[in-house]
């Protein structure tokens, strides 16, 4: 989404002659201390002058100025002291009873069958760190089926909406789960074409909606726009937390409301084991009556580089603190009663929100206009120069709610991140593939199946198609008494 799309009025684009910069535009830039963008005006061709004026006209200057000022000001303020998350806010795996799990599963299925639920995918990133310029969701992690991350997630939606119809809808037919996919200017066209060329992986085209996150000018340390070229301001995507603003300006919150959607499952694209549209998590969320919830996993070890949930201030809201912000002594501190680390609940970008809360967050974040300043080397007319990209994060929403619930999941069952190229030490396509194969192997054995394998079993396994089973259920008819040679895909 461009800044022009975000601007309600939209100023007319000015035509440019070979003379001085347009006076009205120059005066507006002076009001915000950004007139330097015209410093090389006399060296530009007429076409380049046109491009520069259009680029500036597409920036909502009052909004961007407010973001820069508020973000710079907030950096110097001391953060509230942190406390561990209260035990009452967390549903842990060992405390969960079979009765609770069944109750939440049925509640979630009922909400899905009634059309009250949507899925929101954060998919603005390219697979650059994986050695690919394609959208990250197009990446094939090397499973026997060769399916991409997008396909695995689409098929999980297909599976769960079929199960919801069987479980809760009493034969009234399948209610499609709406899937909202946030792209970026760098991935939007390629993502749309990928879905079209694969016929939406069996989903109805009408249940998939694409929208773009915004971009924000990169700035120098004194808050001035950095020029990428003499006629274009350097810009970067506004972070995965830009989803709230993007939903607001694209009017998709209104679209959700008109469809009767009340609950939204939000997750990142680069998790090969993500349980998209998890009915148990949804049922837990509804049962707790909270505005926001997050799935969490326990930190594997004290120094693990993950953000953790904390309570900000005495009795304050839950928030996420990045590992770099957590004092080393706090990283290692142990709760003597539970035996767990005091700060142990890792954020893995698996969230549930009420639609009312999404509206509240979109308005609140816009009003406060506070973004994180990420110091980076920015491509500019002076070569790579140090400056700031301004970003918001998905977890910036949590301080806006007094009621957040955390839902512990087992890392090996639901979290297989794909962030680094093979050869790195962690979070690679190879490590994610093995996590999928090992989990699915356990499902098959539990369902009465057998495996043969020509390499050690710890280095291989079987893949169960999401169209067969969402979380290991309904596999006995396919697997009992049968032998499968790993690696292979098990499908209908």
13 pLDDT higher than 60: no
Q: Which residue has the tokens 């939209």?
A: 10
Which of 188, 127, 170, 176 lies closest to 5 in space, CA to CA?
A: 188
Q: In 10 A of CB 1, how many CB atoms?
A: 21
Which of 369, 371, 370 lies closest to 390 in space, CA to CA?
A: 371
- The model's pLDDT over 403-442, given as tens digits with 9 standing for 90+, comes to 899 999 999 999 999 999 999 888 999 999 999 999 999 9
Select the more confidently predicted residue: 56 or 328: 56
As given in the structure block, the two tokens for residue 51 are 């491009």
Angle between the N-to-C axes of helices 23-31 and 61-75, in degrees from 0 to 180, rounded to the nearest 10:
20
**Which contacts qualify for 368-376: CB closer than 8 Å, 24 or more apart?**
368/70, 369/63, 369/66, 369/67, 369/69, 369/70, 369/71, 370/70, 370/71, 370/74, 371/67, 371/70, 371/71, 371/216, 371/238, 371/239, 372/71, 372/239, 373/71, 373/72, 373/75, 376/218
Angstrom distance (rounded) from CA 263 to CA 315: 26
- The model's pLDDT over 432-458, given as tens digits with 9 standing for 90+, comes to 999 999 999 999 999 999 999 999 988
Which of 469, 492, 488, 475 lies closest to 156 in space, CA to CA?
A: 469
15 pLDDT higher than 70: no
Angstrom distance (rounded) from CA 188 to CA 437: 31
- The model's pLDDT over 341-383, given as tens digits with 9 standing for 90+, comes to 999 999 999 999 999 999 999 999 989 989 999 999 999 999 9
90-91 and 404-408 strand pairing: parallel
For the whole model, what pTM was predicted?
Answer: 0.92
Task: Find the helix or strand (DSSP H, E) in which 407 lies.
Answer: strand 404-408
**Which contacts qualify for 167-170: CB closer than 8 Å, 24 or more apart?**
167/106, 167/109, 167/113, 168/106, 168/109, 168/110, 168/112, 168/113, 168/114, 169/113
Mean pLDDT along residues 51-65? 96
141 pLDDT higher than 60: yes
Angstrom distance (rounded) from CA 395 to CA 213: 16
Which of 304, 292, 375 lies closest to 345 in space, CA to CA?
A: 304
Q: Confidence band (pLDDT; 50, 70, 90) for 78?
A: confident
Q: Looking at residue 79, what is its pLDDT? A: 73
Q: In 10 A of CB 171, how many CB atoms?
A: 6
Mean pLDDT along residues 54-72? 96
First to last CA, the chain: 41
Yes or no: say if 401 and 357 are a contact pair by the CB < 8 Å rule: yes
Evaluate the omega torsion of the peptide bond into residue 487 and state whether it is cis, within 30 degrees of 0: yes
| Secondary structure (DSSP) of 25-85 | HHHHHHHTT-GGGGTTGGGS-HHHHHHHHHHHHTS-HHHHHHHHHHHHHHHTSPPPPEEPP
Yes or no: say if 248 and 366 are a contact pair by the CB < 8 Å rule: yes
164 pLDDT higher than 90: yes
As given in the structure block, the two tokens for residue 445 are 């054995």
């Amino acid at each position: 989404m461009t800044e022009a799309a975000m601007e309600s009025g939209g100023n007319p684009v000015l035509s440019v002659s070979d003379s001085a910069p347009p006076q009205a535009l120059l005066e507006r830039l002076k009001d915000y201390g950004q007139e330097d963008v015209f410093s090389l005006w006399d060296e530009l061709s007429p076409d380049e002058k046109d491009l520069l004026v259009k680029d500036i006209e597409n920036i909502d200057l009052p909004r961007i100025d407010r973001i820069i000022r508020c973000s710079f000001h907030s950096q110097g303020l001391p953060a509230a002291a942190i406390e561990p998350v209260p035990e009452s806010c967390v549903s842990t795996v060992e405390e969960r009873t079979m009765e609770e799990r069944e109750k939440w599963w049925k509640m979630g299925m009922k909400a899905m069958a009634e059309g009250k639920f949507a899925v929101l995918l954060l998919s603005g990133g390219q697979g650059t760190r994986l050695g690919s310029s394609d959208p990250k969701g197009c990446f094939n992690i090397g499973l026997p089926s060769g399916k991409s991350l997008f396909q695995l997630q689409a098929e999980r939606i297909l599976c769960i909406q079929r199960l919801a119809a069987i479980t809760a809808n009493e034969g009234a037919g399948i209610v499609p789960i709406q899937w909202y996919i946030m792209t970026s200017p760098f991935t939007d066209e390629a993502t749309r074409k990928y879905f079209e060329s694969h016929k939406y992986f069996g989903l109805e085209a009408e249940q998939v909606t694409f929208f773009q996150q915004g971009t924000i000018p990169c700035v120098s340390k004194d808050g001035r726009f950095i020029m990428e070229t003499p006629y274009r301001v350097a810009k970067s995507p506004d972070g995965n937390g830009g989803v709230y603003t993007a939903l607001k300006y694209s009017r998709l919150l209104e679209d959700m409301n008109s469809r009767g959607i009340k609950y939204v499952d939000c997750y990142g694209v680069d998790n090969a084991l993500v349980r998209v549209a998890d009915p148990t998590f949804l049922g837990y969320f509804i049962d707790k009556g909270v505005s926001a919830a997050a799935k969490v996993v326990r930190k594997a070890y004290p120094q693990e580089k993950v953000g953790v949930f904390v309570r900000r201030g005495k009795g304050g809201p839950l928030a996420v603190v990045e590992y770099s912000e957590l004092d080393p002594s706090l990283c290692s501190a142990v709760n003597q009663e539970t035996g767990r680390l005091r700060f142990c609940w890792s954020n893995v970008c698996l969230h549930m929100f009420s639609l009312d809360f999404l509206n509240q967050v979109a308005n609140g974040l816009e009003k406060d206009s506070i973004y994180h300043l990420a110091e980076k080397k920015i491509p500019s007319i002076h070569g790579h120069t140090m400056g700031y990209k301004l970003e918001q994060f998905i977890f910036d929403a949590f301080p806006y709610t007094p009621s957040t619930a955390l839902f512990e999941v087992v890392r090996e069952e639901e979290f297989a991140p794909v962030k680094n190229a093979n050869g790195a030490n962690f979070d690679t396509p190879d490590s994610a593939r093995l996590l999928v194969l090992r989990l699915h192997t356990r499902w098959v054995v539990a369902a009465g199946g057998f495996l043969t394998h020509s390499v050690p079993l710890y280095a291989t396994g079987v893949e169960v198609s999401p169209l067969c089973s969402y979380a290991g259920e309904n596999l006995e008819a396919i697997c009992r008494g049968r032998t499968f040679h790993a690696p292979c895909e098990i499908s209908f």
